[in-house]
């Protein structure tokens, strides 16, 4: 069956540390994978996109990696801040689909001061 899974448990880290979140997928062939941030009661906000032929993408303190052999994407926040506390969602676009994003459940991140 097709699955997209993220760390089910909430992640608690100390301010200044690097947060690493995982997204694994099964039986999909993603054209690309995206990471979004979602705050309580709000819509997802796009952060980064990585395509199937890319290994790594960076944007300021954010880094995403994509390993199509492992069928996994890692999302890193370096020098984390309390304001980074949110739920982070991964979503993939399966090859051939009409822009229909398939979403993970999300991982809750809490950065403690």
| Positions in the binding site for other proteins (CB under 8 A) | 32, 34, 41-46, 49, 89, 91, 93, 97-106
| Tokens 């398939």 found at | 102
Residues with Cβ < 8 Å from 66, sequence gap 6 or more?
33, 50, 51, 52, 54, 55, 56, 72, 73
Nearer to other proteins, 27 or 112 (CB): 27
Nearer to other proteins, 93 or 111 (CB): 93
| Cβ count within 10 A of residue 58 | 12
- The distance of closest approach from Cβ of residue 67 to other proteins in the complex, given in angstroms and rounded to an integer, is 20
Cα end-to-end span (Å), the chain: 41
- The distance of closest approach from Cβ of residue 81 to other proteins in the complex, given in angstroms and rounded to an integer, is 22
- The distance of closest approach from Cβ of residue 91 to other proteins in the complex, given in angstroms and rounded to an integer, is 7
């Amino acid at each position: 069956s097709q699955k997209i899974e993220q760390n089910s448990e909430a992640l608690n880290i100390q301010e200044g540390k690097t947060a690493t979140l995982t997204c694994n997928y099964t039986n999909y062939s993603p054209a690309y994978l995206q990471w979004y941030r979602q705050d309580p009661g709000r819509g997802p906000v796009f952060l980064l996109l990585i395509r199937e032929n890319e290994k790594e993408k960076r944007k300021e303190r954010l880094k995403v990696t994509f390993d199509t052999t492992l069928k996994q994407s890692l999302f890193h926040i370096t020098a984390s801040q309390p304001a980074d506390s949110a739920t982070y969602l991964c979503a993939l676009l399966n090859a051939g689909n009409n822009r229909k994003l398939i979403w993970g459940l999300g991982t809750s991140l809490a950065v403690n001061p």
